[in-house]
Amino acid sequence: MVAAVGACALLATACAWLHAGKPPAATRLAALGAARSVDVRPEPARHYTQRPVWQPCEDEPSYQCTTLAAPLDYAHPESGDITLAVTRLRSTGTASERIGSLLYNPGGPGDSAIDGLRGIAEDFSPAMRAAYDLVAVDPRGVGASTPLDCGSAAPAPATGSRPFAGGKPDFEALDEARAETADACLRHSGRLLPHVGTPDAARDLDLVRALVGDERLHYLGFSYGTYLGATYAELFPSRVGRMVLDGGVDPTIDGYRRFLDPAHGYQVAWEAFAADCARRPGCPVGRSPAEAGRVLDALVARLDRSPRREGKDVAVTGADLLRIVLAALKRPAWDELRLALGEMVAPAGDTAALQRLSAAEEEAVADVGFTAVSCLSAALGPVFTPAQAEALLPAFRRASPQFGAYYSALLTTCAHWPVGPARPAQAFSAPPTAPILVVGTLRDPATPYAWSQALTRLFPSARLVTWDGDGHTAYLQPGSACVDAAVDRYLLSGRLPPAGTVCH
Distance separating alpha carbons of residues 14 and 16, to the nearest angstrom:
5
CA distance 104 to 218: 9
Rounded CA gap, 239 and 212, in Å?
Answer: 14
3-state secondary structure of 47: helix
Q: Could you confirm whether 125 is annotated as catalytic?
A: no
Angle among Cα 453, 400, 198 to the nearest 5 degrees reads 45
Q: How many helices (H) and strands (E) does the chain have?
A: 18, 13
138, 304, 444, 484: the catalytic one is 444
Distance between CA atoms of residues 255 and 187, nearest Å: 25
C-alpha to C-alpha distances, 239 to 3, 52, 230, 299, 364, nearest whole angstrom: 32, 21, 12, 52, 31
Distance from C-alpha of 418 to C-alpha of 371, rounded to nearest angstrom: 12
- In DSSP notation, 290-347 reads HHHHHHHHHHHHHHHHSPEEETTTEEE-HHHHHHHHHHHHHTT-HHHHHHHHHHHHSS
C-alpha dist (Å) from residue 288 to 268, 395, 443, 445: 14, 24, 18, 20
Pairing of strands 2-4, 55-56: unpaired
> How far is 495 from 301, CA to CA, in rounded Å?
52
Q: Report the C-alpha gap between 281 and 292 in whole angstroms.
A: 14
At 220 the three-state DSSP class reads strand
The answer to whether the CB of 183 falls within 8 A of the CB of 206 is: no
Half-sphere exposure of 374 (CA within 13 A, CB side): 34
Q: What's the rounded Cα separation, in Å, for the pair 77 and 347?
A: 62
Q: Per the residue annotation, which of 47, 195, 416, 472 is the catalytic one? A: 472
- Give yes or no for a contact between 242 and 218, defined as CB atoms under 8 angstroms apart: yes
Are 255 and 246 in contact by the 8 Å Cβ rule? The answer is: no
Q: Which helix (H) or strand (E) holds 56?
A: strand 55-56
223 counts as catalytic: yes
Q: Which of 223, 374, 377, 408 is catalytic?
A: 223
29, 100, 8: which is closest to 453 by C-alpha?
8
Known active-site residue 472: yes
Which residues are marked as active site? 223, 444, 472
